[in-house]
Structure 1
C-alpha cells in the first residue's frame, strides 16, 4: 500500500471537465514551439483526449528572436484550423493570443493597440530569464492605461527573484495575476522550481495555470501525472481557468 500511495495519478484523471489552457506554443514554425502542423495536430489530439474544452495557444512575440506580427499569428492559426477539423479534432476549440515579452516591441504595440488578448482584457506577458525590465513600473502603467490586465507567465521560473516572496507581493501590488506552468509541479524544470511552485500554490499566489507545451517531450512528461498529494490541488487550480470560457 505504501508503494501505491506514492504512485502518480495520470494527468487525464486530474484535468477538470472543460479545462481551458491559456499558455502553449502550438502554432507551427513560428517560435520555439512545434515545427510542423503534424506536431500541432498530435498534441491537440491528446489535449482533446485529456478533456480540454479550449486551447488558447500563445506564440512568443519577442523583439530580438520572434518579432511575430499579429497578422502572421492569425494567418498561421487559420491554416491550422483548416486542418484539424477534417482530421477529427472537433471537441477542443482552438484560439490564439500571444505571450508578450515585456520589451520595447511590446511597448510599441501596446501604444498602437496592436495586441492579441487571451480573453476580454487579459493579456499574457513574460520577463527575460536574466532580469526584470528596468522600466517595469512604466510598462505596467501603460498596460493598465490601455485597458488590459496582465497575467505573468510562469512566475515560479524567474530565478533572479531568488524565491523572495516579497518580490512577488510587489508584482501583485503592481497588478499582475500569476499563471503557473503545470510542468513546474512535475519537476520538469528541476527540484528547486518544483518546490517553489508548491509553496506558491499552498500560499495562494497562483491565479491560473497553463501547460506551456512546446513539444512531445513536455507532453509526455505532463501525461505521466502527479503525486496524489498535489493532484487535488492541481485540479482545483485548473478550475480557475473557467473564466476564459
Structure 2
C-alpha cells in the first residue's frame, strides 16, 4: 500500500492483499442494488482489477419491502455465477449472505436458524435509519442464543445516535461488532455521517469494513478514495476482513 501527500488516496492503494468485501448489493433485482447481472458483472470486474479477493454480497432482508429468503438469495447467486463464467470474471470469488433488518421477520428467522451467515457464526444486521428497534435487547439475546455474532452494518449512518457516543459503547459492550461503510469516509452520505465515521474509527470501535455498493455511481465515488490521514487508519482495519476467507 502506498500513501502519497495529497488530499485523497485512491481506493486501489488502500486495499490490503487478500481483502474481502463483506457488504454489497450485487444480486440483481431482489433489492435496491444492481438491476441486471451485467451491471453486477461490471462492478465485480472492476473489483477484480482493484485487487479485491472475494465478495460476500448481502441483499437486504426486510419485512414487507424485500422479504428475501435464503432460497431466493442462493438462486440469485447461482444465476449471477452462470453469467460470470463465460465473461471470464474468475479471479474474484463471490459468495452470498444477507443484510438482515432487525425486524419481526428477522426475529422469526433467527429463532428458526433460517439465516445465511457471512462466515462461520457472523451475521450482518442493520437497524432502521429512523429509529432503533424497541426490542433490541430481546433480539440480541435471541441472536446469541442461536449461536450467532451480530455485525452491525454502517453504525455511522444511524443519525439518532450521532449525539450519543456512549450508545455506541453500549452496543459494543452488548456484543455487536461494527462494520464501517467505506463510502461514508468519502462523504457520500454527507458531512455528518463522515464526521461520525471518523470519530468511531478514532475511538477504535470499528471492527470491519464494507463497500455497501449498489450501483455504478457508488463505484466511481469509491475509486476516488479517502483523505490521506483517514486512509492510513482505515487500511489497518480493512486487514481484519481477511478473516472472512
Q: Same fold (TM over 0.5)?
A: yes
Structure 1 residues 91, 163: CA separation in 2 closer, same or farther (over 3 Å shift)?
Answer: farther
Specify the alignment match of 1:67 in structure 2. Answer: 67
Q: Tell me by how many angstroms 1:160 deviates.
A: 0.9
Q: State the match for 1:228 in structure 2.
A: 228
How do 1:8-157 and structure 2 match up within 5 A?
Answer: 8-157=8-157
CA displacement at 1:7 relative to structure 2: 3.4
Superposed CA RMSD:
1.0
1:27-83 per-residue CA deviation (whole Å, 9 max, x = no partner) reads 000100000001000000011011011100000000020001110110000010111
**Residue in structure 1 matched with residue 218 of structure 2 by the alignment:** 218
Consecutive unaligned residues of structure 2, counting only runs of 5 or more, are: none
* SS of the residue 2:94 aligns to: strand
Aligned-pair CA distance for 1:91: 1.0
Q: Distance in 2 between matches of 1:194 and 1:6?
A: 19
State whether residues 151 and 177 of structure 2, in contact with CA within 8 Å, keep that contact through their aligned partners in structure 1. Answer: yes
Displacement after TM superposition at 1:5 (Å): 3.3
The SS at the match of 2:53 is: strand
CA deviations over 1:115-172 (Å, ceiling 9, x no partner)? 0000000000000111111000000000000000000000000001134111011111
How far residue 113 of structure 1 moved from its aligned partner, in angstroms, is 1.1
d(CA) in 2 for partners of 1:229, 1:220: 21
Number of residue pairs the alignment of both structures matches? 242
C-alpha distance in 2 between matches for 1:58 and 1:169: 26
Structure 1 segments, 4+ long, off by >4 Å, are: none
Structure 1 distance, partners of 2:74, 2:214, is 19
Cα deviation 1:159-212 (Å, max 9, x = unaligned) = 011341110111112100000000000000111111111111111000000000
* Kept after mapping to 1: 8 A contact 2:9/2:227: yes
Residue 163 of structure 1 contacts residue 196 of structure 1 at CA under 8 Å; is this kept in 2?
A: no
Shift, 1:242, TM fit: 1.1
**8 Å contact kept, 2:162–2:196:** no
From the superposition, tell whether residues 31 and 205 of structure 1 become closer, same or farther in structure 2 (CA, over 3 Å). Answer: same
TM-score by length of 2: 0.97
